[in-house]
Amino acid sequence: MKKIIILLGLIGFIATSCEDELTIFPEDSLSVPTFFQTEEDFTQAINGTYAPLRNLYDQEKPFMAEMSSDNTYFARNTAFGATENNQDIADHSMITEGGITPNGNVQELYRDLYRIISRANQVLFTIDEAEFDETAKANIKGQALFLRAFAYFDLVQFFGSVPMHLEPVLDREGAALPLSSSDVLYTQIVSDAQAAIPLLPLKSEQEPGRVTSGAAQTLLANVHIVLQEWAAAETQLKAVVNSGEYMLMPNYEDAFSGNSSNKNNMESVFEVQYQEGADGLQGSFMYQFLPRPIEADEVALLFGTADAQPINGQGNNIPTPDIIAAYEDGDLREDGSIMYIETRESFWNDGIYPIIKKYVEPHAQHNNHGINFPVYRYAEVLLFLAEALQEQGKDGEAITYLTQVRTRAGLGAHTGDLGDAIFRERRVELAFENKRWFDLLRTGQAISVMTEFGDRVINNPNDYYLPEGVPAAGNAFTNIRELYALPSSESELNPNF
């Protein structure tokens, strides 16, 4: 019996000492309590905050902000099953019930923007507690504020009201917030962008590709312009112009990034950074922007890839006859922006389609390129400034900025109403840069312009890449709305909408 007691005692002893054995932290991942301590941690965290931009600009945003406008349209491949998600955006035929939609692009865009926001929140929430170099800290904090403001600015323009998270979510209860009005959102966006400006370094002092004080000023000016706060916009834009950090590239075509060269050039204010290769940092948006079916040799001819593959499915973001007609005679930008390719297997007419040329750059691997996507260029800063000045009646000054842009395009003085001229100039200068839909929206023309555009498509389907005899979809242009409906997948989870 004594032996049993000793044994039981021993068991009890082992049991208590084993308590430590029950705490095992993962070795192949870091976990929150041990992370967010050092400069290196926060550098990784801010880098991770940029990452969702790649996916956002690879398809959802070009579809929702460009293909939804009269600049580009969907190229229907009748041999292929429908890909309604994209076509419904081009056709403004998205199903919206009670302010929500199952459209996959809307869902992905929403997710990507909130990925940016939650990662920025994680940085902003913990960075003040951490102890490391104050300059580095300010820089990281500035980038986080910019990215959060940028994401909410997209959200408010696409959706109007959305939930506003300013702190990291820690549990299930905190995950769903009520919708904040656009006023509340804009107040926060302005406040974040303002806070970011003094924290961020000038472009010349920042690592190329990261956001700068100039980028934050341009973002803030953009917000003011949407809110029609012209003087405030002018102040920010003047600061950018006077910083001496930017100038137009002499040649329009050189304003855009190559596959691995000419990135973040002197005209670039901010662009989404990609890199070709197998690291998952690549873009593939130019492949989205091709008509189909397209043969391997046609792809190879275009991109110079060694392993070109034929591509099937549906074509997206194909320049419309409308944008082609919008270029004035002699505008060098038409050739810089649009080119024509032949697709032998296409069912549409002779198979010669216009495509977006800005982003056609030779690269090595199929469906994998390193071309950066422009977000803000100095040319837009000049056009914003011209617009802000013109709106305040400072036409003379406005014209000087407009002229800088037109001169590079090989054009002389503008004709007609200055306001209209600036708006037209934006369309051609910034074509295919995800600006057109937002421009129509903020000037109140979205519904009228798209209704007229829809009539043209329905009446002349063959001009809009539908094969002879194939009409536009039955529901095309039946649901033209200023605001995108919120994703239904979110509505199922958030009781507030």
Partner 1 sequence: MKKKSYRISWKFLFVFGLLWGITMQGQDVTITGTVASASDSQPLPGVNVLVKGTTRGAVTDFDGNYSIVAPDANSTLMFSYIGFTTQEIPVNGQSEVNATLIEDATSLDEVVLVGYGTQIKREVTGSVQTVDLTELADIPVTQVTEKLQGQLAGVQITQTTGKPGDGINVRIRGQLSISGGSDPLYVVDGFPIAGNINTLNPAEIEDITVLKDAASTSLYGSRAANGVVLITTKQGKAGQTNISFNVSTGIQSVPQRGRLDMMDAVEFAQFKKEYYEDQGDPVPDIFQNPSQYEGRNNDWYDAMLRTAPMSIYSLAVSSSTEKFRSSMVAGFTDREGVVLGSDWRQYTLRANLAYDLSDKIQIGLNVAPSWVIDRDPRTDGTRGQGILFNALHTWPIMPIFNEDGTRTEFNRFPADTGNIFAYANWLNSAERIKDKTENLNLLSNAYVEYKPIEGLSIKSTLNAEFYRSNYEFFSPTNATYRINRPIPTNNEAIWDTRNTFSWLNENIVTYTKSIGEHNFSILGGFSFQKFRLDRDRLQASNFADDRLPVIQGATDINRNGTFNEIEENSLVSAFSRLTYNYKGKYLLTAAVRADGSSRFGSENRWGTFPSVSAGWIVSDESFMENSEAISLLKVRSSWGITGNNNIGDYTQYALVDNVIENRTANAVFGDTFAQGAAVSSLSNPNLGWETTEQFDIGLDLSLFNDRISFIYDYYTKNTTNLLFEIDVPRESGFEDFSDNIGEIRFWGHEFSLNTVNTTGKFRWTTSANISFNRNEVVALADGIDQVFGPNNWHITQVGQPFAQFYGHLSDGVYLNQADLDSSPQVPGRSTVGSIKLIDVNGDGVITRGGLNDDRAITGNPFPDFTYGITNRINYGNWDFSVVGTGSHGNELLVRHLFSTTNLDGVFNLLKDVENRFRSVDNPGDGFYGTTVGGGRVTGIERDWINDRFVADASFFNIRNITLGYTIPKLEKYFKSARIYTSIQNVYIFTKYWGGPNPEVSNQNDGQGDGGNLQPGVDLTGYPVPRIVNFGINLNF
Ranges within 449-478 binding partner 1 (CB under 8 A): 473-475
Contacts of residue 11, Cβ cutoff 8 Å, sequence gap at least 6: none
How far is Cα 249 from Cα 256, in angstroms, rounded to an integer? 9
Phi first, then psi, for residue 358 (nearest 5°) are -50, -35
Binding residues among 362-421 for partner 1 as defined by CB under 8 A: none
CB-based contact 328:277 (threshold 8 Å) = no
Q: Does 130 bind partner 1 (CB under 8 A)?
A: no
What residues numbered 246-305 form the site for partner 1, per CB under 8 A?
A: 260, 263-264, 273-275, 277-281, 293, 296
Query: Residue 406 Cβ, how far from partner 1 at the closest point, in Å?
Result: 30
Q: Is 174 in the site for partner 1 (CB under 8 A)?
A: yes
Smallest distance, partner 1 to C-beta of residue 477, A: 12
Nearer to partner 1, 327 or 497 (CB): 497
Task: Verify binding: residue 201, partner 1, rule CB under 8 A.
Answer: no
Instruction: Give yes or no for residue 41 binding partner 1 (CB under 8 A).
Output: yes
DSSP label at 480? Answer: -
SS3 468: coil
Q: Is 97 an interacting residue with respect to partner 1 (CB under 8 A)?
A: yes
Site stretch for partner 1 (CB under 8 A), options 50-58, 230-238, 387-395, 444-452: 50-58
Minimum Å gap between C-beta 166 and partner 1 is 12
Query: Alpha carbon of 161 to those of 153, 155, 369, 485: distances in Å?
Result: 11, 8, 35, 10
Backbone angles phi and psi of 110, in degrees to 5: -60, -45
Residue 32 CB partners (closer than 8 Å, separation 6+): none
Using the Cα atoms of residue 201, residue 204, residue 208 and residue 214 in order, give the sign of their dihedral. positive
DSSP assignment of 44-69: HHHHHHHTHHHHIIIIIHHIIIIITS
From candidates 37, 39, 44, 229, binder to partner 1 by CB under 8 A = 44
Q: How far is the CB of 395 from partner 1 (least distance, A)?
A: 39
221 binds partner 1 (CB under 8 A): no
Residues with Cβ within 8 Å of residue 99, at least 6 apart in sequence: 485, 486, 497
Q: Does 479 bind partner 1 (CB under 8 A)?
A: no
CB closer to partner 1, 80 vs 423: 80
Residue 116: CB minimum distance to partner 1, A: 9
Q: Establish if 22 lies at the interface with partner 1 (CB under 8 A).
A: yes
Quickly list H helices, 319-377.
321-326, 332-337
Residue 313 sits at the vertex; the CA angle it makes with 366 and 65, to the nearest 5 degrees, is 85
Identified binder of partner 1 from the candidate list 133, 171, 350, 468, rule CB under 8 A = 171
Q: How far is the CB of 361 from partner 1 (least distance, A)?
A: 15
Q: Which of residues 353-372 bind partner 1 (CB under 8 A)?
A: none
Residue found by looking up tokens 């194939």 in the block: 470
309 contacts partner 1 (rule: CB under 8 A): yes
Angle between helices 213-226 and 182-199 in degrees, nearest 10? 160
Q: Which residue has the tokens 């590239």?
A: 249
Which member of 6, 170, 184, 301 binds partner 1 (CB under 8 A)?
Answer: 170
Which window, 157-165, 243-251, 434-442, 458-466, contacts partner 1 (CB under 8 A)? 157-165
Q: Contact between 312 and partner 1 (CB under 8 A)? A: yes
With beta carbons less than 8 A apart as the criterion, state whether 54 and 272 touch. yes
Q: Toward partner 1, which CB reaches closer, 50 or 432? A: 50
Pairing relation of β-strands 338-342 and 100-101? unpaired
Residue of 128, 172, 250, 468 interacting with partner 1 (CB under 8 A):
172
- Tell me which of 2, 25, 128, 416 binds partner 1, using CB under 8 A: 25
How many residues bind to partner 1 according to rule CB under 8 A? 97
Q: Does 118 bind partner 1 (CB under 8 A)?
A: yes
CA–CA dist 255, 473 (Å, integer): 37
Q: How far is the CB of 380 from partner 1 (least distance, A)?
A: 21
* CA-closest candidate to residue 133, choices 211, 242, 50, 43: 43
Among 119, 333, 427, 435, binds partner 1 (CB under 8 A): 119
Residue 351 CB, shortest distance to partner 1, in Å, is 10
d(CA 242, CA 245): 8
